[in-house]
Chains A and B, each alone.
Chain A
């Protein structure tokens, strides 16, 4: 397949790995922002192959993982409401809330449906006028345009029984939070290609300049990732700190105009809690006043919920790159994909799940177990 198979070519990837090894005069610490990239890295064993030249720290870019417990609990409450059809992307269904998860709510009679697009949820609302259809609008800037479109369309069509439970987050404030932490070890970033396909990379230029870190906009296939790492290492070796674009087939500096304007029309920046990390100012997207009618929190009067994170879950340290998943005492023992303590063990993009599913064997071997 054009634009895909060439980015999976093992010989190209191996060639780039050799070049990274030759180039690196020391072991650099890089963070891939996006959970999709984490999975490619661990699935393909790239971290293992590059171990002597680069330490990859897995960033907070898994939308499922950073959705705060309070929002999950609100979702569970809505899903249990007999007047509601609750719709969500698939990987939110197994994320544990305070008491249970959406799959369990469904088993008890709640109407929970997986959709592939928020526009499918809107369709469902149109077909079921006697029900309230709520869509769980989570994700980074990548999913924001489609979610904005669903709300915008609902208003245009006057669909009164559709609303969204919003838990959107944005990447740049999280990168700043990581870089300004006193114990930060990250020396360079692979920025999330899909986020930048929407937003472009102008927001990253002041970050690269202020914190003197290379930021390479990177795709998701093995060759993309290895090339992104190569470009970041080259900058570090040459003492440069610029925004560079590896994902040229999808990303332009200005991003995608219509998608950005739609997001700006429907959403505004708000403070947002990140699960395991805490509140990051201006890091979330919330519906603008003009679209408040479509906000499930208002429509159902959800208010604020008191929630307690499982004390043992160190998701925050994992998401900030301070702890590797397998270094957590609960990893693979009291926390597994069947019975996760925290979201990074649930999502197909979560760092803990990636280590558990793909890397457990390597890490237990290395630890001599």
Chain B
């Protein structure tokens, strides 16, 4: 670091020291770098009220209705992994983003970027899985687009999906609605999707095969909506960046603190062992079939019962609460009784040396 940069950064504290002039992989991690990219390089040019809300999906009026629209691009490698493939993931991911607004997903679109040389057999398996996932959710894929790029310009294939859903005015969960006195629920065990991908991608063989949890969360949201409606203050699917990042966003949006109870958070033994081996924290590992719901403490039992009435939510549990203290921060009470901050990570988790 040169003295000049150092001096400049002291004057502009807490401005970055070594801001990169290029896009880094960490910008795509869902951590602080991703948030900064959005803030500094997208919002200044694209700002409007619906976008600026930065929800999982945008909410826009069309005549007398409120519509939720969400788009997501899937670049997962490998294309096929235990528990799913990029096709089923592209359907589940977007449907879930729409569902987290409390909306009922109605239609899907898909855009495909295919790399020259992709085996048609693989393409068939992926599109078949998309069709099956959409049919299971009862949401038709009504329009699409295909582009082919030269070999080496895409990693097999990329898929973009957009979902449109109809909002129910009485059921409007949003991150800013978390308030002290609420409890934090999680619908299932954490970390399966991220570690399933990691195991395949890095060629790491664990004793058991970890399967992705990729699934449509629509049925869980529907149950919560029916039982609690307006009492569901927040819904979030903790995908990239894991539960830790999702709760940090909720704490920041609501201005409340969140306290987690380590002992109540379920991490499957195989995921936990894989995380230990690689030096990763399961709280930051991606999920694709888990939701977190924030509801008033008085509605906790009813919410848990409704989640547990569906197989996807069988292991639903209350893992923490929203508090007045440490506003904007997520703090974990460890099993032993200590406390620690669960912060947003700067970029991707990096596997450690030993």
Contacts and interface: CB of A to CB of B under 8 A. Distances in A.
Interface of A: 1, 4, 8, 10, 13-14, 17, 36, 42-46, 48-49, 63-64, 89-94, 96, 98-101, 103-104, 106-108, 114, 116, 138-140, 142-143, 194, 222, 308, 310-312, 333-341, 347-349, 356-362
Contacts of B178: none
B80 interface: no
A361 B340 CA distance: 7
Interface of B: 1, 3, 6, 9-10, 13-14, 16-20, 22-26, 32-33, 202, 204, 263, 269, 273, 276, 278-279, 326, 329, 331, 334-341, 343, 345-347, 349-354
A217 B354 CA distance: 17
A138 B338 CA distance: 32
Contacts of B353: 63-64, 89-92, 138-139, 143, 347, 349
Contacts of B263: 10
A359 B341 contact: yes
A333 B14 contact: yes
A124 to B, nearest CB: 12
Nearest to B350: A90
B25 A334 contact: no
Given A91-B351, A222-B336, A361-B326, 9 more contacts: A1-B273, A13-B336, A49-B338, A92-B353, A104-B20, A310-B6, A334-B17, A338-B33, A360-B343
Interface core residue of A8, A140, A356, A357 (most chain B CB under 10 Å)? A357
Contact of A334 (B14, B24, B276, B352): B14
A116 B199 CA distance: 12
Given A98-B1, A338-B33, A46 B336 contact: yes
A91 B350 contact: yes
A100 B20 CA distance: 8
Interface core residue of A64, A93, A361 (most chain B CB under 10 Å)? A361
Given A103-B24, A339-B18, A334 B340 contact: no
B337 A337 contact: no
B352 A90 contact: yes
B6 A348 contact: no
B339 A89 contact: no
A116 B336 contact: no
Closest 7 CB pairs of A and B: A45-B338, A358-B340, A90-B350, A90-B351, A338-B346, A10-B335, A339-B17
A219 B338 CA distance: 19
A194 B354 contact: yes
Contacts of B350: 90-91, 93-94, 114, 348
B340 A45 contact: yes
B9 to A, nearest CB: 6
A196 to B, nearest CB: 13
26 contacts: A4-B276, A10-B334, A10-B337, A14-B336, A14-B337, A42-B340, A44-B340, A45-B336, A45-B340, A46-B338, A49-B336, A89-B352, A90-B351, A91-B350, A94-B350, A104-B22, A143-B353, A310-B1, A310-B6, A312-B10, A334-B9, A349-B353, A357-B340, A359-B340, A361-B326, A362-B339
B257 to A, nearest CB: 9
Contact of A63 (B334, B335, B354): B354
A36 B347 CA distance: 21
Contacts of B3: 311
Contacts of B23: 107
B339 A106 contact: no
A43 B25 contact: no
Contact of A338 (B16, B25, B279): B16
Contacts of B13: 333-334
A341 B351 contact: no
A347 B20 CA distance: 19
B273 A48 contact: no
A45 B334 contact: yes
Contacts of A359: 340-341
A338 B340 CA distance: 19
Contact of A44 (B25, B334, B341): B334
Contacts of A49: 336-338
Contacts of B9: 334
Given A1-B269, A89-B351, A337-B345, A45 B24 contact: no
A311 B32 CA distance: 26
A114 B263 CA distance: 32
Contacts of A337: 345-346
Nearest to A141: B354
A357 B339 CA distance: 12
A13 B350 CA distance: 29
Given A44-B334, A101-B18, A107-B24, A338 B32 contact: yes
Contacts of A4: 273, 276
A13 B349 CA distance: 28
A193 to B, nearest CB: 11
Nearest to A89: B353
Contact of B340 (A17, A43, A349): A43
B26 to A, nearest CB: 6
B16 A96 contact: no
B352 A348 contact: yes
A357 B343 contact: yes
Given A63-B354, A310-B1, A361 B338 contact: no
Nearest to B36: A338
Contacts of B16: 338-339
A20 to B, nearest CB: 13
B36 to A, nearest CB: 8
A225 B247 CA distance: 30
Contacts of A90: 279, 350-353
B1 A44 contact: no
Contacts of A308: 1
A62 B202 CA distance: 24
A146 to B, nearest CB: 9
B20 A48 contact: no
Nearest to B14: A333
A101 B351 CA distance: 16
B1 A358 contact: no
